[in-house]
Structures are given as structure tokens and as C-alpha cells.
Amino acid sequence: MLQRVFVRHKSSFSATVRLPQTKFPGRTDQHAVQTQLLPQVTTELYDWNNRREVKSIQELFILHDGPPYANGDLHIGHALNKILKDIIVRFELLSGKKVHYRPGWDCHGLPIELKALEQIAQHKKTRKKEIKRKLKTSPNPELEAELAALEARLKPLEIIELCKQHALSTQQSQSAQFQRMGIMGDFANPYRTLDKNFVARQLRVFKRLFDNNLIKRQEKPVYWGCENATALAEGELEYNPEHRSTAVYVKFPLEHPPEAFGPQPVYALIWTSTPWTLAANRAISVNENMAYTIVESKGDRLIVAQKLVNSLRTIDPELRETDIQIPGSELLGCRYRNLLLVGGSQDTSLPILHGDHVTDSAGTGLVHTAPGHGQDDYFVCLKHSIQPYSPVNEHGKYTDELPDNDLQELVGLRVLGEGTQKMVAKLEKLRLCYHLDPNYTHSYPYDWRSKKPIIIRSTPQWFIDVGKIKAVTTELLQKNVQFFPPRGSNRLVSFINLRNEWCISRQRSWGVPIPVVYHKQTGEPLINDLVIERISQVIAAEDVESWFGESPMEKWIPSECNVNPDDYVRGTDTMDVWFDSGSSWTLVEQFLESTGLLPQAVARGYLADVYLEGSDQHRGWFQSSVLTKIGATAPGEPAVLPYGKIITHGFTLDEKGDKMSKSLGNTIVPVDIVEGNKAKKVPGLGIDGLRLWVAQADYTSDMAVGPVILNRVADVVKKLRFTFRFLLGNIGDMEQTVDYAQLDAMDRYILSRLASFEKKARQCYEAHNYSKIIKDMNQLVNVDLSSLYFDIRKDPLYTDFADSLKRRSTQTVFVEVLKVLTSVLAPIMPIMAQEAWNHSPELVTDGLRSSFMRGWYEVPQQYLNPELEAEMEQLLKLSHQIKTAIDKTLRSTETMKMASETEIYVDVAPETALGALVSKYEAQMTEYLMVSKFHLNTERPKDVLLETTDGDISIAVTRTDLDKCPRCWRYAVEGPAELCKRCTEVVACT
């Protein structure tokens, strides 16, 4: 409808008509965006913000950036995450706070190491081919030497150098991409977990945890990824519900069965889906509180839990139950023989123990226990001083630590492959197998990176003793942290509650070293305050290369340790990357210290105001941040949380609800949306359009992105641009505003709607409900402004005296609308808001360079007028009824095209509420309806075109006898080609 405004009047009076004039462009000027607008709303604005002084913590807002991983290009999820953060930061800036947003990057870890190794492998391959080809024609000692060097394995330092280059170049590329999305922050000074100062800080966090006795080294079963030969944390697993294992029921003979069982042999029946661990069997666990019985099958007598007899019948219909019953407690102390161990030097006689984890929900109620291959097994055995044992190497293959009998044939076999088959064959040969299911389908953990099933294996690892701090941590989280959406609280707390230990050591090169040295002969670790502090100092000065390179040990072991440094070597383990990013709160602490506000932050109990990430970070960064922060609290110090509020978002899916992936071909990347992508049917939305897509979505759950939604967003962007153009185009000649007292009902109604919108928008920003702001904004722009106010006020704007009250009143309202829109939209669409601001007169801007500098525009309280809104809404409802009648009339006649050609007759009883209302506004109805004349409760002419009655009200439409004024196009003159009264006066004065 707005486009119509810009259609030129072709009458001879066009010179006397004031059509909108503005330099605000009808289309985005990309050159202006890149050279002027983007810098204005990012770097220039952040610099201005940085110069602000703050005296109290309430005047400061810190959003601490969860570092994205410095690998690969940005996907739509990155854009969503950073834009949400930017909206929050900008709203706080607009609300008068100084903001602190320092982008970060997570730079260590396996994916970067693998990527770097892959690149170098490719390079080496090409070079080797080249050399070999040259060597064929003539011998060349130099090339031969180079070839030998290329064949050699990479040293850790070489790997580190490659990883560093890869991480830094990715970081720079991602940073540039983020800045192109209009993200504002300290991009000139990002934090990177590979920076030596960051590493030194992280090592001091480790030291604080060590001082608090929270760091320990243990031989323990850990999740293990065989492909990359490293320990994995809980957070690095994903479960495959369709995993297939070979499951097997195994019978172990009891050595001296209790008398109650009778004289014949009795077997303990266990069930396992990891038969490869049976060589490491060290006990059978039962539950002392459960009842057990003996069943007979194929001539064997088997002990099973009473409650599981029926479920066993499904695999063994011939199974017969006996009347022998025995409580679990009486099985304790019995011993059985693990016949797999026969022929070797190991004792084959093993105990039956109690385990709390044993239930009667599945299996047999007797649980194979291998302390080197299971967490529960480990704890049961710990109580009885049975050591973990796992004869499996880092690649998931059996080692010669297997029992020294014929099981040695299995050495070198993959436990998840041939190793399992051979072990099962062995069981069958020994007649230990009661039942076999080669295709047992169940949910099984996979390494989220290699996408391969993991194993559990015991190795000496470094742990944080989470059990010691989880109670205080979860209590503080529940008491002092706000969660949005609120369900995040339970998620985070329950993840922490499930955790007793956090394995922080990794057997990789690209990471922060665990600051420990080991004795060359005994392998005993030397770890103390002095060593950790020295290592932190050297790394802060020289970076991690000196740790992984060749340097004398005396550099790392202070003389106060009273040991011979030459007896020691540096450890090669690195830290879990979640520990890296988890320690980034130290930067917030440092910033607060630099402003002198740290004591105030400590007093309020948290450092940063907001952490905002995807909801998967409940088991990642939110957790590692709070655990390292609370764990690092010195005795006697108050516990301070890293954050006061946690906001989470869901993930992006395509419009069918599928995950986006390259193989499905449904990926949409941020640049597709900003610049458009014809092949994907995605319109170019510009930076603001991409941001608007984020704002209009309900980010608390998963969000769809695709051509349908993006085209809808494109329409909103267009509509807003036309709205700004119309507003700006009509206030160019304005010198001063009209007092509120002089405004008419329609002006006041629009101001009241504007006031409601502004107040509600502020509440929504505070509640992080951005989609509601966009919904309300669409309502305001499309309904209240575009189809109502703009439409009926075009006439006075274009054709009245320049300083007629109606025209000046309309302009006054426009100025208020501009003030509100440039303020409310600035956090979401900063570029368009700034562009409108740049084209606005001083009446709007007060001469300031940005709406952020003015601050949130709060409309005067008196604008809010709920009674008037209610009244007008009644009237608009009636108008709608009348307009429907007009449309119907126009459709049925061929000679009339416009509502302005009609006259309206309304009959409504004056004593009714509606009747009273219509008579109150009788004089305005012609204007509101944009018809030639409006008649209330008068006699109707005979030639009525349409008549309709609805309850108390009756409406009639006729064709007017009046003619069209050639200047203003209203049907208001008695003869053709004559000017109407108003136009005659206006033209006479110009």
C-alpha cells in the first residue's frame, strides 16, 4: 500500500502537492553499509562505550563470550549465538550501561590437531611423489635427505606449530565473519585459549584446585577413544541407540556351594554385552537384598535372581525352576572359578561381592565385574582392595598382560572386533556359554569425534574430585543463578550431580600441558606448589613450546624441591579442552580488577552478568566454568560464581525439521542469508535481515531456517524500510512539534499505541523475548501505521497548508514514531536504525550521532491512554465492517473503483454505547473511512447500492454526486475540474 504513496500525481497541480522527500534510500546501499554504517554501529560505537566511566557494578554489563572452536567456517548456529549475544549487549548499552564483550576462541584439542595433521600429510605426500620422480632420473643427496626427513614421524613441537597456525588463521577468518554480521565487541583484543597468558592463567587455576586438594591421579577405568588413543570425558560421548554387540550368558562353577544348594554342581550365571572383558573378570557382584534361586536347564543347575526367572524363559523355554531359595546375603563369601584363567599363573578362584548397582530389572541378577573396564565394577572392587586390570592398549587391542595361558593367542586383536569373536569361541570351547545373542541391539556410547564406539579401559589419569565440591556448587547454582529458559537449572544441576570425577588428562600434543614432572625410573609424579608455579611462570614468559621442546629440566624444577632435576622428565599429557575454556572466567576477573569493581562483584556473588550458549553447554562450558571457579576458591574466601544468569538457545534445523548437513544438501550458511543464494532459493536479507531472522524465532527450542521463513523475513525488512522512508519523507519541512493538548483523537490514539509498544518492548528485552517484540512491531507498523494512520493522513500531509494543525500534528506523531523505532529496533537491526537516524532531523536525534548515545527512548507517560485505545478499537471495528461493505459494493459495480467515491449511511440507536461513540466521532468518520461523506441516522436516498444490518447497526453505501478535486482527489466538489474549498485556498497562497 505504501508504494502507492510514491506514485507521482500527474495533475497540473503537482507542483503544489508536497510528496514525500528523503535521501533515505528505497533499497539497501551496500557501499554505505560497508563504509559508513557498519563501522558506525560497531567499532565507533564500542570505542565510545569504552570511554565511558563507571563507578558502580550496576552501571556495568558483562556478557562473557563462550569461545567457539577455531576450526572451520561459521555455520548458522554460530550466527544465531553471536547475534543473540549482540542483541543483549546492545540493549544494555541502550539502557545506559557500559558494556564489556570480549570475543573468545577455543583453540586447542583434537579436531584442530587432526585437521593440521591431515593438511601436512597431504603436503608430504605430494612432495614425496615429486622427489621420488626426480630421484628416478638422477641421484641427489639433498633430495634423499629431504625424503628421509619427510618419512620421519612429526615431533610434538612440529605438530604444535602446525596446530597454532591453523587455529590462528581460522580465528582471524571467523572474527572477520562475525564482524560482518554487525557484532559489536572488543574484536581488536580477543581472548584465545592458546595465548601464553591464557595458558599461564589456566595453570594457576589448576594450582588453586591442587591447593584445595581437588587434583588426584588414579589408575581408573575411563572412557577411551581407540581411534585417537585418548581418554574421553562424559561430554565427549554420544549414544547410538542402534549399536549391536555380542551378548552372552556365561556360567561360572561355584567352588563350595552352600549346603542348601544340594550336592550337585552349581553355576553362577552372568550376562554381559562386552564378552571381551571376561578375561579381566575379577569378581561377580550380587545384591545382598535380592532373593536368588536355582533353575535347571539342559542338565545344569544355575543361580539366578528369583525375579528374573520368567524373563530367562523367553530365551530358554525348557528352563525349570526349583524350590531352592537363598537371599543374596548368603551368596556373599562364596567363591567361583573363572575357567578362562586355567593354565596360567593367575588364581582362578574369585569372590562373589555385594554391589549396590545390581538390580533385578534385566540380566540374571549376578553381574560380571571387571574393575579395569567399568565404573561400578571399579568401586565395588575398590572396597575389597582388588586392583583395576585391563590388558588392552590405547588402540583398543589386547596386550600380553592377558592371562599367561592360551589366551595369549588373542594378543594384538581388536577387542571390539576379532578379539570378541575369539573370546566367545573360547567360552564355547570351555562350555561356559549358556546362551549367545550375536546381534544384541542397545544404546552404546560413541566418541563424538571419530563416531566410533568407545571402550572403558583403566589407565593412570589426572582427575578433579568433583564429588568434594558438587554439593556447594549445585546449591549456589540453585540459589544465585537465573536461568532462561528456567528448565536449564535442573539440567545443569542434575549433570553436576551425576558427576564424581572429571578426567582432565588427554594423551595428545595440542593442548595445555598438565604441569607435572615424572621420575625417570619409577614413573612417580612430582607435583607440588613450587613445580606448578615454576611451570606457569616459564610458560607465561616463553609459551608452551618450551615445555614440549628440548630444555634442561632445571628450568622446570625449582631448587627448593631438593631433587636432582636430571632424574625427571616432563609429562606429555595435555588438559581436557573444557578445562581451557572453563578457566576463561579469569579474564572477567581480570577485567573487573582493572575497573576497580572486583570487590563489588565478589559482594554480589558472581563475575559476569550473562553466559549465553546452546543448551548442549549444560554438560560442557557452563559446567566446566562453575566447577573450576568454585574449585579454585581459597579456604576462607567467599565462593563467587562465574555468572549471574545463564541463557540457552536451541539448534537450527531446516524447514522440514531435519538437521542441516552437507550430505543432505540442506545447509544454509550465514553468508547465504546476508547476500542471498539463488540455488537455495534464499533471498538476500542483508545483515539486519539475518539478525531479524534470529530475533523473530523462538530460540528457546530448535528453530527452522529455510526459504519460506526467510522470504517472510525479507518482507518485514522491506516493510520497515518503506516505513522509515515514509516517515522521514514527510517531516523534512518541520520546524517544531505540536503540543500534546492540541493533538486530535487519532494522533493521540497512535501515540498511545506507540507508548504501549515501547513499554512492552522494554519488558520483552528484559525478559529476552525478542520474537514478541518483532510480532508487536509488525502489528504497529502494518496495522496501526501503514493501513490506518499513514493512509488517512496522506491527504493533509500532501495537500494541506504546510503549517496546518493536522499536518503539523501528524508530523509530531511521526517524530515520536521515529524516536521509538530507532530506539526499539537498534539492538536487533542496528544498521537500518542507524541509517534512519542519520537521515533524521534534529527533532528526532537531538544532534546526537546514534540512538545508543541518547539511550532508550521512553515516551512521555501521558501518551498512554487505555480508555482512548478501547474507544478507538470499537470504532475501528465498525470501520472494518463499513469497509467490508464498501469493498463488496466496489466489486459489484464496474464504474466505481475507490472508496472515496462512496457515501456512507449508518443507522445506530443513539442511546446504545456504540451509538454514543459514533456520534462523538461523527465529524471524523469521513476522514477515517476516506469516503466522500458520512451520514449518521439520516434518511437514506433511494439509489442505495448496498445495505447491510448487523444487530443494532445498519450500513448503506451509495455513489456520491460530488466530483473529484483534481488536486487532492477527494470527491468534494460540485462540478468537474473544480478545486475543492481547501485546495482553492492552498493554491491561492502558493
Q: Which residues bind Zn ion (CB under 5 A)?
A: 965, 967-968, 980, 983
Q: How far apart are CA 156 and CA 162, in angstroms?
A: 10
Min. distance of Cβ 808 from Zn ion in angstroms?
Answer: 19
Round to the nearest angstrom and report the end-to-end CA distance of the chain. Answer: 30
Note whether 135 and 144 are within 8 A (CB).
yes
Q: How far apart are CA 648 and CA 614, in angstroms?
A: 5
Strand positions, DSSP E, 522-565: 525-526
Q: How far apart are CA 50 and CA 175, in angstroms?
A: 20
Contacts of 988 (CB under 8 A, 6+ apart): none
Min. distance of Cβ 979 from Zn ion in angstroms?
Answer: 6
Min. distance of Cβ 769 from Zn ion in angstroms?
Answer: 47
Q: Which is nearer to Zn ion, 674 or 968 (CB)?
A: 968
| Grid cell locating 308 | 528374573
Best CA proximity match to 529, nearest among 218, 217, 215, 196: 215
Note whether 387 and 369 are within 8 A (CB).
no
CA-to-CA dists, residue 736 to 530, 785, 808, angstroms: 73, 22, 8
CA-to-CA dists, residue 980 to 19, 186, 904, 963, 990, angstroms: 19, 61, 20, 9, 16
Note whether 904 and 935 are within 8 A (CB).
yes
- The kind and range of the H/E element at 247 are strand 237-253
| Grid cell locating 912 | 446504545
Q: What is the DSSP letter of 702?
A: -
Q: Which is nearer to Zn ion, 292 or 969 (CB)?
A: 969
Q: Which is nearer to Zn ion, 795 or 903 (CB)?
A: 795
Q: How far apart are CA 214 and CA 739, in angstroms?
A: 69
- The sheet carrying 367-369 orders its strands as 335-337, 349-354, 283-286, 367-369
Min. distance of Cβ 970 from Zn ion in angstroms?
Answer: 6
Burial status of residue 594 (CB atoms within 10 A of its CB: 0-12, 13-18, 19 or more): exposed
- The kind and range of the H/E element at 987 are helix 981-988
Q: Which is nearer to Zn ion, 13 or 757 (CB)?
A: 13
Name the 3-class secondary structure at 732. coil
Name the 3-class secondary structure at 953. strand
Min. distance of Cβ 912 from Zn ion in angstroms?
Answer: 35
Note whether 212 and 115 are within 8 A (CB).
no
Strand partners, 464: 215, 502
| Grid cell locating 532 | 606448578
Min. distance of Cβ 803 from Zn ion in angstroms?
Answer: 18
Q: How far apart are CA 240 and CA 443, in angstroms?
A: 5
Q: How far apart are CA 790 and CA 726, in angstroms?
A: 9
Min. distance of Cβ 983 from Zn ion in angstroms?
Answer: 3
Min. distance of Cβ 987 from Zn ion in angstroms?
Answer: 9
Strand positions, DSSP E, 615-665: 641-649, 652-653
Q: Which is nearer to Zn ion, 392 or 980 (CB)?
A: 980
Best CA proximity match to 508, nearest among 236, 303, 182, 104: 236
Half-sphere exposure of 109 (CA within 13 A, CB side): 21
CA-to-CA dists, residue 716 to 220, 365, 425, 774, angstroms: 58, 63, 68, 9
Q: Which is nearer to Zn ion, 214 or 972 (CB)?
A: 972
Q: Over the Cα atoms of the chain, what is R_g?
A: 39
- The sheet carrying 517-519 orders its strands as 525-526, 517-519, 568-570
Strand positions, DSSP E, 809-870: none
Q: How far apart are CA 408 and CA 584, in angstroms?
A: 48
Q: Which is nearer to Zn ion, 353 or 980 (CB)?
A: 980
